[in-house]
A = this chain, B = another copy of it.
């Protein structure tokens, strides 16, 4: 499975009084990129929740900010899966404006049921997250 690229255009709502995008919003863009990754991999994340009762709950997130995104920028987010275990999945992200690297990030997710208890990735979704070697 190759990397999947998404694009967001910066909303006014996402800026702060420093005139740049508020730092927490990069995590929202990572979510947008993850959902696009799932779609490209072959399933809608919303279906995974609804049909299998399986959730990708975030257990760790980090972001390194290199250069600030600004209102109206088109930000490309490259998302890849960097680690898959029976109950966890790790995603990595690169956010760019044109060729310029704005930020890199990473999220680690536990597969859980609706009650938040860790479960194994449902059988039918395993193929979408090829085990890394």
Q: Which of these binds chain B: A14-22, A79-87, A93-101? A: A14-22
**Could you mark each residue 52-92 of chain A with 1 if its beta carbon is under 8 Å from any beta carbon of chain B, else 0?**
00010111111111001011100000000000000000000
Min distance, Cβ A59 to any Cβ of chain B, angstroms: 5
In the complex, whether A12 has a CB less than 8 A from a CB of chain B is: yes
Contacting residue for A17 out of B15, B28, B57, B65, CB 8 A: B15
**Could you mark each residue 5-46 of chain A with 1 if its beta carbon is under 8 Å from any beta carbon of chain B, else 0?**
000000111011111101111011001100100000000111
In the complex, whether A130 has a CB less than 8 A from a CB of chain B is: no
The contact size tier of chain A is 35 or more
Q: Is the CB of B55 within 8 A of A64?
A: no
Contacting residue for A24 out of B17, B20, B24, CB 8 A: B24
Q: Report how far A44 CA is from B23 CA in the complex, Å.
A: 20
In the complex, whether A116 has a CB less than 8 A from a CB of chain B is: yes
Q: Report how far A133 CA is from B46 CA in the complex, Å.
A: 46
Contacting residue for A22 out of B13, B32, B60, B116, CB 8 A: B13
